[in-house]
Chain A
Amino acid sequence: MTTAEIRDEILNILEVIAPDEDLTNIDDSVNFRDQLELDSMDFLDIVMELRKRHRIQIPEDDYMELASMNSTVKFLEPLMKDIQKV
Chain B
Amino acid sequence: MYDTIIIGAGMSGLAAGIRLAYFGQRVCILERHTTIGGLNSFYRMRGRNYDVGLHALTNITPKGTKKGPLARLLRQLRISWDDLEISPQLGSDIVFPGVRLRFDNDLDLLRDEVAREFPSQIDNFDRVIAEVVEYDDLDDLHQEISARERLSEMLSDPMLVEMLFCPLMFYGSAREHDMDWGQFSIMFRSIFMEGLGRPHAGVRLILKQLVRRYRALGGELKLRAGVKRLAVEEGHVSGAVLESGEELAARRVLSSAGWAETMRMCDDGAPVVSRASGRLSFCETIATLDVEPRELGHNRTITFYNDCDEFTWTKPDEPCDMRSGVICSPNNFQYGKPLEEGTMRITSLANFDYWQHLDEHEYCLEKLRWYDRITESAVRFVPDYRHRVIDTDMFTPTTIVRFTGHDNGAVYGSPEKQIDGRTHLDNLFICGTDQGFVGIVGSIMSGIGMANRHCLRD
Contact = CB atoms under 8 A, between A and B. Distances in A.
Nearest to B456: A48
Contacts of A44: 452, 456
Interface stretch (B37-45, B73-81, B280-288, B327-335): B73-81
Interface string A18-50: 111000000000000000010111101100100
A42 B23 CA distance: 14
9 contacts: A18-B66, A19-B78, A20-B64, A20-B66, A40-B138, A41-B76, A44-B456, A48-B456, A51-B23
B138 A39 contact: yes
Given A37-B66, A40-B138, A18 B75 contact: yes
Nearest to A16: B78
A48 B75 CA distance: 14
Which applies to chain B's interface (DSSP): helix, strand, loop or mixed? Answer: loop
Contact of A41 (B67, B80, B452): B452
A82 interface: no
A44 B23 CA distance: 12
Nearest to B445: A41
Interface residues of B, number: 15
B212 interface: no
A45 to B, nearest CB: 7
A37 B138 CA distance: 14
A60 interface: yes
Given A16-B78, A19-B75, 9 more contacts: A18-B66, A20-B66, A37-B67, A41-B448, A41-B452, A51-B23, A52-B23, A52-B24, A60-B457
A20 B80 CA distance: 9
A67 interface: no
B456 A42 contact: no
A33 B84 CA distance: 27
A26 to B, nearest CB: 15
A15 to B, nearest CB: 11
A16 B80 CA distance: 11
A39 B78 contact: no
Interface in B396-435: none
A39 B76 CA distance: 11
Interface string B446-458: 0010001000110
A17 interface: yes
B157 to A, nearest CB: 37
Nearest to A18: B75
A81 B3 CA distance: 30
Contacts of B448: 41
A40 B66 CA distance: 14
A86 B171 CA distance: 49
B80 A19 contact: yes
Interface string B7-39: 000000000000000011000000000000000
